[in-house]
Amino acid sequence: MHRVRFRDPAGSVRTGEWRDGKLHFADDSYDPEDVDILAPSEPTKIVCVGLNYADHAAERNKDVPTRPLLFLKPPNAVASHGDTVSLPAGKERIDHEAELGVVIGEQCRNVAEEEAMDVVEGFTCVNDISNRDDQDLEQNWVRGKAFDNSCPLGPVLATPDEVPDDAGVQLRVNGEVKQDSSRDQFIFSVPELIAEITTYLTLEPGDVIITGTPAGVGPLEDGDTVEVEIEGIGTLSHDVRSP
């Protein structure tokens, strides 16, 4: 099932099902072009995983980590399918990063690896937009990763059965493929990540874990259209502008 949050023409926020090219809620159906698609959840936090693909670690001239490298994005980072993301001004390089997002379905702490999928509500597409100018100068990556709308999510929440273990992950800029890999290239699997994260943090319903990006990250420019497509989920699309 593909669940979707949207604002209908009357301004009401609905959670329905996206099927057959339409959004369905109760007895009503809507064309996606006639509503505002919202992020699939309202996270209290986004837990991010760095360098979870060996090829991306290599392109960033970093060692492959021996345990998950974790950092946070706050709720202000969330953007939605169809949004135009305003990039920080005066920066030389702001990169795209296609990622699989894991949406948590229940409050949880100290989750065993073998039980980790029980707390997953579903998967979504993510672009972890990264301000390299500042990321490469600071330790905690607040300027580099936590700026407004730096985490577009969507367009839907796909239940785990919809997303293959080797699901393809692709990112396109203006229709040109920039990143092309698969979920089975993760260094740390989704259950491993949940077990590690919940050793330290309580996760709340709607929180999102973004699981790392493959090689091929690159700069965004004013007017670009970005598409993140993950097999079994669909395609997240958004534009960017530079003030």
Which domains, ranges and CATH numbers included, belong to the chain? 1-37 (2.30.30.370), 39-241 (3.90.850.10)
The position carrying tokens 């060692």 is 63
Averaged over 210-226, what is the pLDDT? 97
- Hey, which residues does 120 pair with through a beta bridge? 104
- Please state, in angstroms and as integers, the Cα–Cα distance from residue 27 to each residue in 20, 223, 234, following that order: 15, 38, 24
Averaged over 64-89, what is the pLDDT? 97
% the chain with pLDDT above 90: 98
Averaged over 45-72, what is the pLDDT? 95
Q: Which H or E run contains 86?
A: strand 84-86
Is 26 in contact with 15 (CB distance < 8 Å)?
no
The position carrying tokens 């990540």 is 193
Q: What is the dihedral of CA 134, 137, 139, 144, to 10 degrees?
A: 10
Residue 243: pLDDT band with limits 50, 70, 90: confident
Residue 20: pLDDT band with limits 50, 70, 90: very high
pLDDT at 128 (0 to 100): 98
What DSSP designation does 203 have?
Answer: B
